[in-house]
Amino acid sequence: MTVNPTGTLYGVGLGPGDPDLVTLKAARILKTAPVIAHFRKKGRAGHAWTIAAPHLNGDASEAAFEYPVTTEIDFREDAYVDAIRDFYTASAQAIMQHLAEGRDVALLCEGDPFFYGSFLHMYDRIRSAYPVRVVPGITGMSGCWTAAAAPITYGDDILMVLPGTLDGAALASHLRTADAAVIMKVGHNIDKIKRALHDAGRAADAIYVERGTMQGERVVPLAELEDCAVPYFSIILLPGGRGRRIA
């Protein structure tokens, strides 16, 4: 009996934003995969697609999945949870249809696929049924601390990675004990994060990075950040090395 081959899902890490920071392995897969899948906001080309575009061969089919909600509903509300769960389930089913018909799918992942990404929802839904391969990428936070010329850890420093969606008191509690920290998911959480840093006595050390390694990159001390809308692609750094010895 002949068994029809199935396709493989590739979670392709694209790095922090600069297309030149895509790995050789990721670029090779992007040039050969028959289906390129990605997530995006409605009406947008998609940031991941923009990063990958210089590496695509133009012959692949595009499978674009548009988020039904983004920030207009709080992520803790039942309506958000239901909508996003159904969306990820439908997206996984669409990908698995390609895999069942023998087509490999390269799913574009900003940063690293296993780090705070939508790919995780596909991985959990697909890995038991079809082959899944992951191509690691440079994380967004690595791109940001490089853009800021801010060494993040020295010696025995312990690095904390904190989502800005945490409760303000929890953020402040973590920040009080952190040698070094990276705060992700800033956006509309910026005022809460500023208060938490102030409460922890760490505000003076914080660095704000917007669109690290990308066009429009901006790096400023957080204390100098004027009141304005903060985009999704922003990170706050709290460099380590306090009290380090100078060799």
Burial class (CB in 10 A: 0-12, 13-18, 19+), 143: buried
Residue 188 forms part of a structural domain: yes
Residues 71 and 184 in one domain: no
**Average pLDDT for 116-131:** 96
Residues 82 and 147 in one domain: no
Of 89, 83, 123, the residue nearest 105 (C-alpha): 123
Residues 24 and 122 in one domain: yes
Residue 214 forms part of a structural domain: yes
What confidence tier does 244 reach under pLDDT thresholds 50, 70, 90? low
Residues 177 and 192 in one domain: yes
Task: Give pLDDT tens digits for 49-97.
Answer: 999 999 998 899 999 999 997 654 555 676 778 899 999 999 999 999 9
Q: Which tops the pLDDT comparison, 98 or 233?
A: 98
HSE-CB at 196 with a 13 A cutoff on CA atoms is 27
* pLDDT value of position 3: 46
Of 240, 234, 25, the residue nearest 113 (C-alpha): 25
- Domain range for 153 is 141-238
Task: Write the CB contacts of 74 (distance below 8 Å, at least 6 apart in sequence).
Answer: 80
Could you say which of 98, 123, 138 is where a domain stops? 138
Q: Which tops the pLDDT comparison, 82 or 36?
A: 36
What confidence tier does 44 reach under pLDDT thresholds 50, 70, 90? confident
Residues 125 and 172 in one domain: no
3-state secondary structure of 189: helix
Task: Give pLDDT tens digits for 166-196.
Answer: 999 999 999 999 999 999 999 999 999 999 9
Residues 105 and 191 in one domain: no
3-state secondary structure of 159: strand
Residue 183 forms part of a structural domain: yes
What Rg do the C-alpha atoms of the chain give, in angstroms?
20
Q: CATH number for the domain including 124? A: 3.40.1010.10
Residue 15 forms part of a structural domain: yes
Residues 124 and 219 in one domain: no
What confidence tier does 234 reach under pLDDT thresholds 50, 70, 90? very high
> Residue 48 in contact with residue 42, Cβ under 8 Å?
no
Could you say which of 83, 114, 138 is where a domain stops? 138
* pLDDT value of position 240: 95
What confidence tier does 161 reach under pLDDT thresholds 50, 70, 90? very high
Residues 20 and 34 in one domain: yes
Q: What is the DSSP string of 47-109?
A: HHHHHHGGG--S-SEEEEEE-S-SSSS-TTSHHHHHHHHHHHHHHHHHHHHHHHTT--EEEEE
Please give the mean pLDDT across all residues of the chain: 92
Residue 28 forms part of a structural domain: yes
Residue 153 forms part of a structural domain: yes
Residues 153 and 106 in one domain: no
Residues 45 and 124 in one domain: yes
**Average pLDDT for 14-34:** 97
3-state secondary structure of 155: coil
Q: CATH number for the domain including 207? A: 3.30.950.10
- Predicted TM-score (pTM) of the model is 0.90
